[in-house]
Amino acid sequence: MRFSDLIDPRRGPEALVRLALYPLIVLVVFAALSEILSQLPPLLVFLAFIFLSPVAYLIRKARRGRTERQGARRGAERTPLLPHNEEDQ
């Protein structure tokens, strides 16, 4: 969202709603998550984070796609050439 969206009469109200609504949604989600986590035993929360960390890593790795091999895409190395006046000697 750009600052000019707030001034534009067509996109202004929509931008203002977004500007007010998104932080409110984030606050509600964090408050709900905090309340849920406070009800659970600390060991269960710790084990959940231990389990979710590798899962998140695998999801991130899968979304990135295949990694390119560094050396496979490079062309052949250039052969050094002698200057023209030294080839005849």
CB 21 within 8 A of CB 12: no
Question: Tell me: the pLDDT tens digits for 39-86?
Answer: 989 899 899 889 999 999 999 999 987 655 555 556 667 777 777 775
Number of domains in the chain: 1
Quick one: tokens of 40?
């659970």
Q: Which residue has the higher pLDDT, 72 or 8?
A: 8
Q: Is residue 72 domain-resident?
A: no
The H or E element containing residue 88 is none
Render 9-71 in DSSP notation, one character per residue: TTTHHHHHHHHHHHHHHHHHHHHHHHHHHHHS-HHHHHHHHHHHHHHHHHHHHHHH-PPPPTT
Q: Is residue 42 domain-resident?
A: yes
> Helix, strand, or coil here: 89?
coil
Return the pLDDT at 66. 64
Q: Is residue 32 domain-resident?
A: yes
Q: Is residue 85 domain-resident?
A: no
Q: Is residue 57 domain-resident?
A: yes
| Containing structural domain, residue 45 | 3-64
Overall pTM > 0.75? no
